[in-house]
Structure 1
């Protein structure tokens, strides 16, 4: 993906070292590889910015995997024949940044995206070494594409879900592109206007840099400070300075 002049200049002027960060993009398109994904097209802008700043980046197209429905870590242990989620979860836990990308269908994020969120939810109750929920210390964002309205609606639901599960959300953590309302060209289609759209490129750029800055701050500070947010301590009876410990 070619970056525009403004995006390239920001990369060239950067003095921050992001080389120890890892980012995972999960593309929730409904199209299996090698079909063209317009969502991937916009995600590639963020990916290119990250790679120019020496982040380790991986893209997973969720529909290429057999992600079983459910909210258990491994659904084969619940009687289903196959479940590829455990290997994707390992990639999530190895990353400092998670970006979910989705097309818009009937004003909503894709069914694939919803399933990924449900599977993330299934392991959100696990704890890290400090007794906090598992996703603490990771930054989250989203990218949305389509040719019908719904970018902000989809972003609202995705980002709410990610923060509820424990991800930290920076300012301007969503970006998207839609063409004219109704049938029309998608982001990567010829003369769509998407790659040249200043609003889309600006928001995608800001989102990417904010994710990198936040992930760097979190990593340098060993995640979120562990006081008042440790499930293990809460279960052990700590009140965390609650004025009435009996009703903590």
Structure 2
């Protein structure tokens, strides 16, 4: 799964990541046990996380009954079933959230869009400091597809994560796309029958490696710092009337 360079980076690492928790959510449209191209690329990031003792949990969202909506539990809004609350507990416990999605018609998958909508359902909740609940957590994304769309999809996913409070490290997106037109996807058998498509793409391996390490480093920094300082960003204190030195427009 990891190449020589990636193995060496893991072997020479001196930072302790063992108290960090990571959650990877694969937003493929394929239910288990069908193979997922996105899962194969996510597997590289997951292997790096595990090699560095990060506690990893994996979810393939399409295997769960996630009701549409923007409330924490849609059964309270009339849905007959909603598995989201149990997924939410995993999200809440994780220091690192890595979202994987295929590209369809130039966009993230419908499953990924639903995930973002359900994350948004918790955007009004706060942590012990009175900050939005996603403060102190880091997020990134892995994208696979054909022809085009990695940066476009990454832009939308990462914007959504930062909007609800996640911290996005440098270069927190990575992906692979094939040539224009119908063709093999990431991890498919190559024409020579001896290799897998995309596994030898240095650009993809480099970006996936950088994204994973940056997620770990940023999560480590935030955890060691006790999260993000709460001065000027506590919604609870703002609701109580604190304005953190913001000028009052009425007195300008």
* TM-score (structure 2 length as normaliser): 0.96
CA contact (8 A) 1:138 1:168 kept: yes
Query: Which residue is 2:193 aligned to?
Result: none
* Residue pairs, 1:228-247, within 5 angstroms: 228-244=232-248
In 2 relative to 1, CA 246–72 (structure 1 residues): closer, same or farther, beyond 3 Å? farther
Q: CA RMSD in A?
A: 1.0
Secondary structure of 1:70 counterpart: coil
Secondary structure of 2:7 counterpart: helix
Q: Deviations over 1:38-85 (max 9, x none)?
A: 000000000000100001111100000000000000000001100000
- Structure 1: 4+ residue segments shifted above 4 A: none
- CA distance in 2 between counterparts of 1:125 and 1:204 reads 31
- CA distance in 2 between counterparts of 1:193 and 1:77 reads 45
Q: CA deviation at 1:246?
A: 5.2
Query: Which residue is 1:76 aligned to?
Result: 75
Is residue 118 of structure 1 aligned with residue 117 of structure 2? yes
Q: CA deviation at 1:245?
A: 6.8
- CA distance in 1 between counterparts of 2:145 and 2:10 reads 28
- CA distance in 2 between counterparts of 1:223 and 1:25 reads 21
CA contact (8 A) 1:239 1:245 kept: no
Secondary structure of 1:11 counterpart: helix
Q: CA deviation at 1:124?
A: 1.0
Query: Which residue is 1:215 aligned to?
Result: 219
Segments of structure 1 that go 5 or more residues without pairing to the other structure are none
CA contact (8 A) 1:25 1:100 kept: yes
- CA distance in 2 between counterparts of 1:137 and 1:40 reads 26
Paired residues in the alignment total 246
Secondary structure of 2:24 counterpart: strand
Is residue 203 of structure 1 aligned with residue 207 of structure 2? yes
Query: Which residue is 1:185 aligned to?
Result: 184
Q: CA deviation at 1:229?
A: 0.3
* Residue pairs, 1:1-248, within 5 angstroms: 2-191=1-190, 193-244=197-248
Secondary structure of 2:218 counterpart: helix
Q: CA deviation at 1:193?
A: 3.1
Segments of structure 2 that go 5 or more residues without pairing to the other structure are 191-195
